[in-house]
């Protein structure tokens, strides 16, 4: 039998750390709580520490004591609610749970909220794990990240669900390390700057895609070990690819071994069942009024950045956090102490989260999935903002997809759906997302949303992507969309890679790579993404022909491009557009090129600007506007002439 040893005072959590934890400011609480391998009088063992203030008793059980809760009982530290025990001879790899006796005498086996690793589902025990053995090789990236000006650089994010990107025969998952070289090289080949992983924290049910978590500090064992995930991130950084994690501080699942009713009472969730329940997801909401919950969550974000070197987070369901009744079907409307619907505790938590992250990691990406008109999401907290540095522009995605799904003949009546985003495009630092949310639950894939016959579907999708890459804002694309996956996303199986054997899809895939390459190499398409001076309408009002024309501008004088998007199936010859300066212009990109599956309606020669003013511009061009297509023009200079093109002519 494994014996119990009395803790040396040096192995107890310090009074100061305990004080900070209860104050909500212990931002490395994972170093105090959880299972830590330590030496006590030259005897190696594990110190367990867990917060369970309302428990009658807490024991640690596992493979070392036949899961018998009478043998290794933890000691409660005064009135702190923190229970501790040092067990000698335990080591890396041993499995355990806490047997928690609630105030009513009922016993439950609970996974460790701070466990660093967990058993492979359907097993649910925590695993004692040493996270300090991996040798990182990404020092150059980490140093560069602090200094990088992310706002004035191109950013194309590849959103990935690891289980269904690719699978082995029989549906077995690749592990993090096996995925590393293939997925990273694929991202580089396609011009992506970042990979965003859907949640990799431990979760019991594959069908939640990782959004209903039990182990916030535990990299899911579905895809291998913590070191293998570290290897994946390290390789990304060595190849200049950033890594963003989906992070879920809004809610957690109700599985009995998880955080719910942890000490026999509502601990991580609210004691008020109306505020604790998240009926639409069947989960519990975190109670941000409890300082210990704030310590737990902010520590978790810092943990992934510190221990795993991640570059930032996409914070899930921010709207559901800041509004008490967002996505809440309860018949009774929840109200704060002032009678309104804001969740003030959640708002203060988010501000504190962002302040802490940017203080510790100045180059971090903190991206809010926020779907309402809440102001100043990406403004500093000192200016009254929430403190994020990016927000998903879900309004743009919804409007544009709604427009693109219309029959082509209906589009003139709904022209405003194309142009409305520019009324607020610079109110926040936006990411334009075509994420997994757009292509599941019967919503159809991006390609299959497009109207018309087979040719028109692909032409529409080429046009949509062209508009995405020329509209102000950073870009995010869910896996499979880059080669026009036809079926909507199915998490149980890998993407339909066989489509690349078909000309239409392989041609679209080449188009996407060329478009992303053009974006990366054209500074006017990203240099002033978040500043109004980086965008200028030439013609926003041609609803009858479903054509919009605008200019994207860089910082240097003369650094601009002209973008013409035609959302109708007609070809417009000798179409007049205004331009700001005289000289020769040439077409640098055209989605209607034959090599992209288009009809070949190109502008194949240089075009001289005439001195006829048009669209409030002093000069104008006569161009061919391709059907369901985008054409991009630049002015010729000594360094920039026709022939340096990626349009596949």
The answer to whether the CB of 119 falls within 8 A of the CB of 212 is no
The answer to whether the CB of 634 falls within 8 A of the CB of 586 is yes
Q: How far apart are CA 106 and CA 111, in angstroms?
A: 16
Q: How far apart are CA 603 and CA 395, in angstroms?
A: 34
52: Cβ contacts below 8 Å, ≥ 6 apart = 58, 81, 83, 98, 100, 262, 263, 267
**Tokens for 461?**
């999708």
Q: What would you report as the CA-atom Rg of the chain, rounded to the nearest whole angstrom?
A: 27
329: Cβ contacts below 8 Å, ≥ 6 apart = 279, 280
Nearest to 432 by CA among 401, 387, 463: 401
Phi, psi of 122 (to 5 degrees): -85, 0
Residue 316: active-site member: yes
Q: How far apart are CA 464 and CA 591, in angstroms?
A: 10
Q: Residues, the chain, total?
A: 649
Beta pairing class for 82-88 and 75-76:
antiparallel
**Tokens for 505?**
């899809």
Q: What is the DSSP string of 341-367?
A: SB-HHHHHHHHHHHHHHHHH-TT-EEE
The answer to whether the CB of 580 falls within 8 A of the CB of 610 is no
Q: Label each residue of 555-576 as H, E or C.
A: CCCCCEEEEEEECCCCCEEEEE
Nearest to 369 by CA among 194, 231, 222, 246: 246
295: Cβ contacts below 8 Å, ≥ 6 apart = 20, 21, 23, 24, 25, 26, 27, 29
Residue 369: active-site member: yes
User: Which residue in the list 108, 246, 263, 369 is annotated as catalytic?
Assistant: 369
Cα–Cα distance list, 579 to 37, 609, 621, 635 (Å): 68, 8, 7, 10
Q: How far apart are CA 229 and CA 221, in angstroms?
A: 10
**Tokens for 501?**
């054997």
User: Which residue in the list 316, 428, 559, 587 is annotated as catalytic?
Assistant: 316
Cβ neighbourhood burial of 329 (10 Å; 0-12, 13-18, 19+): exposed
Under the phi-then-psi rule, with left for phi > 0, alpha for psi from -120 to 50, and beta for the rest, what region is 635?
A: beta
The answer to whether the CB of 403 falls within 8 A of the CB of 414 is yes
Nearest to 367 by CA among 238, 476, 232: 476
Nearest to 353 by CA among 286, 277, 419: 286
Q: How far apart are CA 251 and CA 212, in angstroms?
A: 7
Q: Looking at the annotation, which residues are catalytic?
A: 316, 369
């Amino acid at each position: 039998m494994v014996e119990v040893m009395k803790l040396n005072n040096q192995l107890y959590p310090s009074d100061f750390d305990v004080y900070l934890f209860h104050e909500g400011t212990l931002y490395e609480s994972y170093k105090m709580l959880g299972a830590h391998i330590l030496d006590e009088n030259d005897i190696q063992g594990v110190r367990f520490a867990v917060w369970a203030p309302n428990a009658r008793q807490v024991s640690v059980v596992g493979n070392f004591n036949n899961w018998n809760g009478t043998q290794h009982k933890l000691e409660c530290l005064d009135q702190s609610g923190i229970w501790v025990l040092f067990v000698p001879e335990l080591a890396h790899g041993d499995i355990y749970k806490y047997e928690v006796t609630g105030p009513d005498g009922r016993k439950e086996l609970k996974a460790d909220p701070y466990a660093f690793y967990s058993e492979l589902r359907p097993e649910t025990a925590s695993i004692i794990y040493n996270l300090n053995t991996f040798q990182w090789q990404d020092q150059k990236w980490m140093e560069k990240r602090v200094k990088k000006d992310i706002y004035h650089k191109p950013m194309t994010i590849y959103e990935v669900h690891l289980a269904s990107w690719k699978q082995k025969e029989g549906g077995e998952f690749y592990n993090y390390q096996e995925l590393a070289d293939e997925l990273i090289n694929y991202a580089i080949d396609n011009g992506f700057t970042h990979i965003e992983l859907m949640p990799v924290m431990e979760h019991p049910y594959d069908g939640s895609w990782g959004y209903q978590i039990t182990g916030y500090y535990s990299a899911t064992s579905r895809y291998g070990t913590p070191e293998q995930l570290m290897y994946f991130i390290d390789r990304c950084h060595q190849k200049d690819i950033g890594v963003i994690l989906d992070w879920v501080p809004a809610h957690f699942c109700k599985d009995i071994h998880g955080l719910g009713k942890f000490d026999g009472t509502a601990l991580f969730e609210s004691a008020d069942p109306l505020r604790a329940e998240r009926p639409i997801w069947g989960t519990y909401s975190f109670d941000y009024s409890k300082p210990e919950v704030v310590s737990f969550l902010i520590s978790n974000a810092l943990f992934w950045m510190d221990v795993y070197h991640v570059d930032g987070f996409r914070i899930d369901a921010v709207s559901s956090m800041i509004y008490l009744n967002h996505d809440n079907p309860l018949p009774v409307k929840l109200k704060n102490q002032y009678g309104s619907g804001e969740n003030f505790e959640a708002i203060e938590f988010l501000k504190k989260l962002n302040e802490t992250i940017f203080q510790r990691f100045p180059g971090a990406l903190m991206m809010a999935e926020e779907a309402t008109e809440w102001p100043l999401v990406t403004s500093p907290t000192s200016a009254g903002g929430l403190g994020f540095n990016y927000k998903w522009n879900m309004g743009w995605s919804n409007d544009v997809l709604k427009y693109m799904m219309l029959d082509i003949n209906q589009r003139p009546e709904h022209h405003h759906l194309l142009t409305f985003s520019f009324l607020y495009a610079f109110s926040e630092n936006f990411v334009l997302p075509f994420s997994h949310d757009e292509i599941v639950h019967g919503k159809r894939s991006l390609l299959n949303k497009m109207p018309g016959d087979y040719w028109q579907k692909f032409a529409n999708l080429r046009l949509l992507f062209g508009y995405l890459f020329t509209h102000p804002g950073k870009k995010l694309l869910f896996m499979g969309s880059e080669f026009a996956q036809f079926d909507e996303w199915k998490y149980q199986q890998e993407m339909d890679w066989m489509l690349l054997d078909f000309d239409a899809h392989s041609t679209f895939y080449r188009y996407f790579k060329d478009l992303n390459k053009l974006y990366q190499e054209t500074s006017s398409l990203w240099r002033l993404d978040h500043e109004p001076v980086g965008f200028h309408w030439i013609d926003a009002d041609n609803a009858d022909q479903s054509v919009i024309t605008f200019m994207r501008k860089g910082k240097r004088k003369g650094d601009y491009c002209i973008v013409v998007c035609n959302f109708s199936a007609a070809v417009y010859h000798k179409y007049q557009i205004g331009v700001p300066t005289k000289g020769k212009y040439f077409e640098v990109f055209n989605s209607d090129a034959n090599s992209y599956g288009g009809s070949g309606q190109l502008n194949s020669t240089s075009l001289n600007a005439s001195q006829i003013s048009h669209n409030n511009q002093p000069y104008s061009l006569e161009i061919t506007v391709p059907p369901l297509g985008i054409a991009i023009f630049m002015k010729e200079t000594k360094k920039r002439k026709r022939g340096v093109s990626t349009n596949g002519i």
